Structure 1
């Protein structure tokens, strides 16, 4: 029985890694505007037992853009059934515009509105509103980085002023979030909803070394209870390890190479198995993640005996 159990766990782990790879490929095909191929790749991955509602939602987007409304709506229904609740994003997402005249779309939106209303009845609404405003300020200033850098250059006075503005914003946000954490603990999804929940992570992730280390155990506890995303924990674990000069586990952190002036991966512990760890934390394969930064990367292969 023990050997059978170990074999089963190994097969499950391998299946999760393969599924994560397929999801990453599906996402890359979507980015290349190959929507039908993307939808087909999502279907292959989802057939292997993926339960992440976001994957079903993204599959729906690919199928809607590919012109298959029936498949798109079926995937959306699965996404909602598995816990997708971002109603405002659903309504505003232009990928799904072709579905708006479908009867099933209207029924799905009405059902999700009722579900969200039931969930929000138990939310701490003032805290939710406070954290969503913090989320907005955290993200708005970061959205300015790329256009300012492109127009004026990374060493320009404009970029220097933006970094200074960001530091002030981050410090103000940190004071608010630390006060929230000290009063309520980690504001879980069942308390404030997913976006407000993400705000706490973003602010602490953007803070100083001591603050991250202090509240990392609180995030670990929230993830263990299903109140925060495993992917958030992976990113914070990596950043704390990097700040302490230790190799990262999940490959989420990059650093600037002083000699080349280019970004590169910070050192990874047991790099051969990094995608297995990433899959366990609901992260895409590292090759696909690095493509987001314009870096061609392949996970090293294990040396044969």
Structure 2
């Protein structure tokens, strides 16, 4: 009986990993501009039970770029039905431009506008505005990094000035966000909306070890209620573990190897099952994540059971 139970768990683990890989493959096809193939891979994954709100939205983008308006609209509607509410992004996303003349697009946008208006009626709007401004300052300085490094070099005076600017911005944002957390608890999506809520995560994730450790339990509690993304929990938990010299769980944290001067993954606990844990937290397969950094990676196979 015990052996049968272990086999069932193994099969379930393999299935979850396969589904996560299917979504990752669909995303990779999109990146390669093979939009029809991307849409088809999303459909196969959805048929097997995979798919988050974001996945359905991304599938819609693939189908729109492939010229299939029917499937694009259908996947957009599924994304909205599952909770997609980022109206401003929807309207500005150039991937969906081909749908704008379709009456179904107009109806979907109008219905989403009504849904968002109803949600925002319950928002703490002053707090939302404050946090969205913090979000912009956090991201604005970080968007400069790549350009400054390419133009002036990583050790240039310009780069040092940017690091100083980032540190000062992070200190200001941290003081503001900690004050919000102490007064309101973790400001969830239903209180301030997704972007403003994400601002809190970003600021704490960019802060010191003690601050992350203090507010990680609050973030976990919010995620359990659907008020924050599980992926945010994964990233912060990995960073806290790394800062404490422990193996990470989800493979989100890289470090510089001083000998090779190349980035590499910080040690992962139970690495063979990392993609199962990533899928549970709404993260893409680690192989796809590493491609973002120009690195090839393959999850090691589990050793034989004792």
Greater Cα offset, 82-91 or 4-13: 4-13
The answer on 1:285 being equivalent to 2:281 is no
Deviation of residue 259 (structure 1)?
1.2
SS in 2 for 1:256: strand
TM-score by length of 2: 0.96
Cα distance in 1, alignment partners of residues 296 and 44 from structure 2: 25
Deviations 1:162-207 (A, max 9, x none): 0000000011000010000000000001111111111000000000
- CA-atom RMSD, angstroms? 1.7
Q: What is the 5 A alignment of 1:6-155? A: 11-155=11-155
Q: What is the 5 A alignment of 1:150-229? A: 150-229=150-229
8 Å Cα contact 1:152-1:159 kept in structure 2: yes
Cα distance in 2, alignment partners of residues 265 and 89 from structure 1: 32
Deviation of residue 262 (structure 1)?
1.0
Deviation of residue 299 (structure 1)?
0.5
Count of residue pairs the alignment pairs up: 305
Q: Which residue of 2 aligns with 1:232?
A: 232
Cα distance in 2, alignment partners of residues 6 and 113 from structure 1: 48
Deviation of residue 224 (structure 1)?
1.1
8 Å Cα contact 2:29-2:35 kept in structure 1: yes
SS in 1 for 2:250: coil
Structure 1, unaligned stretches of length 5 or more? Answer: none
Deviation of residue 114 (structure 1)?
0.3
Deviations 1:205-242 (A, max 9, x none): 00000100110110111111111000000000000000
Cα distance in 2, alignment partners of residues 13 and 193 from structure 1: 33
8 Å Cα contact 1:15-1:48 kept in structure 2: no
Cα distance in 2, alignment partners of residues 188 and 257 from structure 1: 37
Deviations 1:134-182 (A, max 9, x none): 1111111111001111111111111100000000001100001000000
**Structure 1's 189 and 4: CA in aligned 2 closer, same or farther, altered over 3 A?**
farther
Q: Which residue of 1 aligns with 2:242?
A: 242
Q: What is the 5 A alignment of 1:246-261? A: 246-261=246-261
Cα distance in 2, alignment partners of residues 221 and 140 from structure 1: 29
**Structure 1 stretches (4+) deviating beyond 3 angstroms?**
1-14
TM-score by length of 1: 0.96
